[in-house]
Amino acid sequence: MKITASAKCAAILGMAALSTGVSAKDGIYVSGFLLNTTQDHTIERNTGTNTTPSITTSSEETDVGVGVALGYKMHVNDKVFLAIEGFYNKESAETQNLNNLLITQVELDSTYGVNLKAGFDVTNEFAIYGFIGSTWVDIDLDNSYPFAPPMRSGSETESEFSFGFGASYQLSESLSVVGEYTQLNDLDFDPLPEVAVPGKVNPNELDLSSWKVGLSYTF
């Protein structure tokens, strides 16, 4: 059987295409994640006296959560891409901070916001990227003392600048494995007034760091 030149050329191009691996496509994507979030809560309690000076304490706890994201990805050339993404994470980290007999419990309920991403295709399958964004944090608060009630309870929602980096590996043209790290620092929030000292509040601050891994599907 005689093989024409055009058939040989098509076969060569087909083999070359297969050898380059799987390329990610642009467009709308949805992602699902498992998270591991560390919450660091700091209290600076100022008693306002010389005999009992200000005391700063911190408490740290790590727990798991789940998250989803919806975004749009677009290449600006053969290697560089941009993306905008909205996300929501259901969190579960909880800290209990004891500062000079004041116990403040902070339960992380959820985080959500928007990220702007810029990345680079290292290979057809593997890409790395960084991102900046704004994150809103929902927390539940309890103030109490170790010796007896009463207790104050409430909730807060605050926003702060966040940043991070990530990597993805293509399993197919549409499906990829994704891993990310996110950092949020110096989130100041309005604490509950002390139970025994009505109207007295203390500076409170949260730092959050999160590792997550999941799957992303591009439509």
Q: Going residue by residue through the chain (219 aa), what tens digit of pLDDT does each one get?
A: 444 544 444 443 344 334 445 566 899 999 999 999 999 999 887 766 555 557 889 899 999 999 999 999 999 999 999 999 999 999 999 999 988 788 889 999 999 999 999 999 999 999 999 999 999 999 999 888 887 666 888 899 999 999 999 999 999 999 999 999 999 999 988 777 776 666 677 788 999 999 999 999 999
**Is 15 among the domain residues?**
no
Q: Tokens at residue 184, please?
A: 């949020």
Rg (the chain; Cα; Å) = 25
Domain contains 7: no
d(CA 204, CA 43): 5
Identify the CATH number of the domain in which residue 193 sits: 2.40.160.20
Tokens of 94: 């909880």
**45 lies in a domain?**
yes
Q: Residue 118: inside a domain, yes or no?
A: yes
Asked, for residue 38, whether it belongs to a domain, the answer is: yes
Residue 154 falls inside a structural domain: yes
pLDDT at 54: 72
pLDDT of residue 199: 66
Query: How far separated are the first and last CA of the chain, in Å rounded?
Result: 43
Is the full-model pTM beyond 0.85?
A: no
pLDDT score, position 15: 40
Alpha-carbon distance of 214 to 32, in angstroms, equals 5
Domain that holds residue 66: 25-218
- 18: three-class secondary structure by DSSP: helix
pLDDT at site 145 = 81
pLDDT score for 5 = 47
Q: Is 14 part of a structural domain of the chain?
A: no
Q: Is residue 20 assigned to a domain?
A: no
- Per the structure, the count of domains in the chain is 1
